[in-house]
Structure 1
Amino acid sequence: MNPAQKYSTPVLKKNVPDDSGKFLPLPKATGLFPFHLDVQDIRKLGSQNKLVFHMLGDTGGLRSADFQREVVSEMVRQYQQPDEHGKPQFLYHLGDIVYNHGEWEEYERQFFKPFQHYPAPIFAIPGNHDADVNPDNPAVYSSLDAFRAVFCDSSPRTVTFSGNAERKSMVQPNLYWSLITPVARIIGLYGNVTKFGKIEAEQRRWLVAELQAANLERKEKAVVLCVHHAPYSADINHGSSLEMIRFLEGVFAETGIVPDVVFSGHVHNYQRFAKDYPGGKTVPYIVAGGGGYDELHPVASLTDNRFSADNPLLDGVRLVNYCDRRHGFLKISIEKEAGGITLKGAFYTIPEDENTGRGASVKLADEFVINL
């Protein structure tokens, strides 16, 4: 379809059923408040002034694993053959690692085997599918039991349901937490099980405190916010999340602080939005949920009457670029220099059309620069 016939703004899906009853209580944190993890405790960085990492979401799936395998292979290649920005130091996963219900028995097939050759640490926030519970599973388990065993352990160890994988458990302190680095504070939220996300008061108070603390370091560090559920989207499967928009904008209004960039998954494609805030600050809202799940979500057509852009909460937000036909991943570089901090992002896609053929090199589909 001609891009001119598609929305260039976020959309809302009409007649969406209320699934707020699916909300599940959060398990207790495994680490100590304020739920910080210093990246230097996991991997010693060569430079205190530069950070390079991969980012993607929605990699798992119960059907074909071909796309996930190719995405991971290309990230491994970038690690082995770094460009001028340098070698990625870790992967930050935006959630939905295991479909459909976060079950223990799916982690070997959907996570440990596909990522077995990825040579760097993997951090993550949970997606709604990671947190869901399968009522038909004969083994009784609670929400996020498996995720916590893989990512929120008290010390690194072999995960019992990993198929004896070499990758050990990660030691993230909580489901919502901050990764502390020399050039950025990466704040990760947990949006629960519902389709459009829901965050309760305790986590909100924590986010307020994190933004206030991050703001004190603003001259030294970028403020990066991650949440699985995309606040803004123009896709036909989810559309935008009013729940997430109201939550985030409420916190931003209370603190007077907005992050430098917001990353999400949930929607199975790539979209880059720009939102203008009072005072002249423009914040990119980036969806990177095309990490491997075999079904991609197209951007909605202007003639599709199931969607609307008529809501004041969508005002001032524009869709700058998107890719809804290819899977891919982000490579992020954050560098501190004398003149300030620069965040650069590049979205790479794996070739999937019949004219190009599988196995060809990745394509640079979008890039952006944020000068802080």
Structure 2
Amino acid sequence: MSDSSRDTAAGAGWGTTERGDYLRLMPNRGEKLSWLNPRTLWPARNGVLASLFGDPTGHTRGRWVEQRTAAGAPADKVVRHSAPDHFSFMVIGDTGEGDDPQYAVVPGFLKVGRDTEFAVLASDVVYPVGSTDDYGTKFFRPYKDYQAPIYAIPGNHDWYEDLDGFMRVFCDAPPLAEPAAPRRLTPAWWRSLLWHKPRRHDEQRLAEARKLRSAPAQRTVQPGPYWAIDAGPVRIVGIDTGLTGTVDAEQGRWLREVSKGDIPKILITGSPLYVDAEHHPGPIEGGGTVDDIVRDPAHHYVAAIGGDIHNYQRYPVEVDGRTIQYVVAGGGGAFMHATHTMPRVSVAGVSEGDFRCYPLRGDSLAFYSRLYGNRLHMRRFFTLTEAEATAVVAKRLGIPATRVQERPARITLRTRVVASLLGAGGRPDRTSRLRLPVRKAYTQLFSPGSATYSPPFFKCFLRLDVSPDTVRLRCFSATGNRPQELDPPVEDEVSIPLT
């Protein structure tokens, strides 16, 4: 097995190395998505409108579910997948930007997943707005050689066109009828004036794209945007958290019902319940939270895996004498969210020593220092070596260096200033007022516009191996470099008991 980022800098993808073969998989005219482009920002306005004038996704979701039920989808929304007692499946989140980082994941994903029963896409299948016409290069083409069904739950970007593309591709659903006009001068009326509606798509283009995944073993039709899969000894429950992370009342009732029973369960959600050292339990309209359901011992959840945040994190939380693994798995292709901005972990009894993340904090800081150096044309000032970044993060958090350095780097004044400007450790100091946007603001604006097309990309995907007694969860990395493409490193591994 090849070195991981926890072993060596080369295992993280640093240094001069050969670019992977993923380049031959890409379309000749690959898209370079920029969220600083007004032509991208304007169609993606629905999230802002929902926060200002009320979120209509619960009502729209209900209409989609009603349509699917009328078309013959099972009322309980449970897929009975004929898997043996020992089987494996893949999970990959936040994939579809259609550029180098997404395609760099594909060779390793295919290699690790070649004998798996199915895959699950956890949130944001297609950027920027989930348009049907984008599925060819951002879904069908990259995963054309994965010879098993792919299920998906939508993320907020898939909702920017009212879930039209997602429902067409994964549920074979026709477009919804135009809703009734809201009463004048109500918040819904103001929202409707600016709401971005689904664009008319090219039927021939979609038909050609579907041919890329047309083998019988690849075909499946989901019951709707949320579902459950009974496979071997486990039930996998996928929920749709829409534009704002809230579960509507109807879906909440279904979630409580489908969670009953002794069969062990794994939740897949578009909004992670633990992320960036914080707890986000997931509100349900009408009362209660998603995490209340996950924690209930009568429901037998063993893990909750969420997309939306573009990196890997794992929190083993003790709940009533048992451990539930809360995982963030959104590193499947979109721009990278920083890990170096997280404080020292202390949440729900999980300490820094229990916590795992990818990329490592030092690698994240080195990545962003290089990115800012290039963007601001100040490479000599901003760019930190991976050794310098690792050392300064460990110092600021008061933890041992995650990766042992042959020659520990000296922490200079420049190193400290750059680390502080880029928010390393999330710790305020004298330069806090000058801190550059890396976490909240950078996530919302600058980070999507600053994707890098030079390895290492720090992407990842999961493989879960299920037996009657345990689930073995492994996080594999994809850097864009050939060594990690030929033998994808394991960045984290945990064995989850089912009994």
TM-score in terms of structure 2 length: 0.56
* Residue of structure 1 aligned with 2:170, choices 151, 154, 160: 151
Name the structure 2 match of 1:57: 93
Q: C-alpha distance in 2, partners of 1:176/1:79?
A: 23
Residues 295 and 301, structure 2, Cα contact 8 Å, conserved in 1:
no
Could you give the per-residue CA deviations for residues 267-307 of structure 1, whole angstroms, max 9, x where no partner exists? 000001111112x011000111000113333242439xxxx
Task: Pick from 13, 17, 35 the counterpart of residue 77 of structure 2.
Answer: 35
Counterpart amino acid of 1:347? C
Q: Does 1:265 align with 2:307?
A: yes
For 2:118 and 2:294, the matched residues in 1 are separated by 28
Question: What CA distance in whole angstroms lies between the structure 2 residues aligned with 1:346 and 1:297?
Answer: 21
1:366 alignment counterpart:
492
The CA distance in 1 between the partners of 2:296 and 2:150, in whole Å, is 33
What amino acid does structure 2 have at the position aligned with 1:321? R
**Matches of 2:327 and 2:204, distance apart in 1:** 32
Q: Judging changes above 3 Å, is the alpha-carbon distance between structure 1 residues 206 and 110 closer, same or farther for their aligned structure 2 residues? A: same
The answer to whether the 8 A contact 2:273-2:291 is kept is no
Contact residue 351 and residue 363 of structure 1 kept, 8 A: no
Following TM superposition, by how much is the alpha carbon of 1:252 offset from its aligned partner in structure 2, in angstroms? 4.8
**CA–CA distance in structure 2, aligned partners of residues 364 and 240 of structure 1:** 26
Higher strand fraction (1 or 2): 1
In the alignment, the residues of structure 2 paired with residue 33 and residue 184 of structure 1 have an alpha-carbon distance, to the nearest angstrom, of 20
Say which of 71, 75, 83 aligns to 2:109. Answer: 75
The alpha-carbon distance between structure 1 residues 38 and 154, as it changes in their structure 2 partners (threshold 3 A), is: farther
Asked if the contact 1:23/1:192 (under 8 Å) is kept, the reply is: no
5+ residue gaps, structure 1, are 4-16, 81-86, 134-142
Q: Runs in 1 of length 4+ with deviation above 2 angstroms?
A: 17-23, 162-166, 239-246, 249-258, 294-303, 314-319, 356-361
Q: Which has the larger radius of gyration?
A: 2
What SS does structure 1 have at the residue aligned with 2:212? coil
Q: Does 1:192 align with 2:242?
A: yes
* Number of positions where the alignment pairs a residue of Structure 1 with one of Structure 2: 306
Structure 2 match to 1:66: 100
2:51 aligned to which of 1, 15, 19 = 19
Match of residue 98, structure 1, among 102, 126, 147: 126
Equivalent residue for 1:345?
473
> Which amino acid in structure 1 is aligned with residue 154 of structure 2?
P
| Structure-2 separation of matches of 1:253 and 1:331 | 24
Structure 1 Cα separation of the partners of residues 235 and 78 of structure 2? 10
Equivalent residue runs for 1:281-296 within 5 Å = 281-296=322-337
Matched residue, 1:323? 358
Q: Which has the higher contact order (CA 8 A, sep 6+)?
A: 1
Asked if structure 1 preserves the Cα contact closer than 8 Å seen for 2:311 and 2:336, the reply is no
Distance 2:295 2:342 in 1: 33
Contact 1:102 1:132 in 2 (8 A): yes
Instruction: Give the unaligned 5+ runs of structure 2.
Output: 1-5, 7-47, 175-202, 365-457
Considering fraction of residues, name the structure with more helix: 2
Contact 1:123–1:151, Cα closer than 8 Å, also in 2: yes
Give matches, 1:193-342, under 5 Å.
193-194=243-244, 197-212=245-260, 215-216=261-262, 218=263, 222-234=264-276, 240-244=279-283, 247-252=289-294, 256-278=298-320, 280-302=321-343, 314-318=347-351, 320-324=355-359, 325=364, 326-336=458-468, 341-342=469-470
Per-residue deviation, residues 23-43 of structure 1 (Å, max 9, x unmatched):
422133221210111112xxx
CA contact 2:107–2:485 (8 Å) conserved in 1:
no
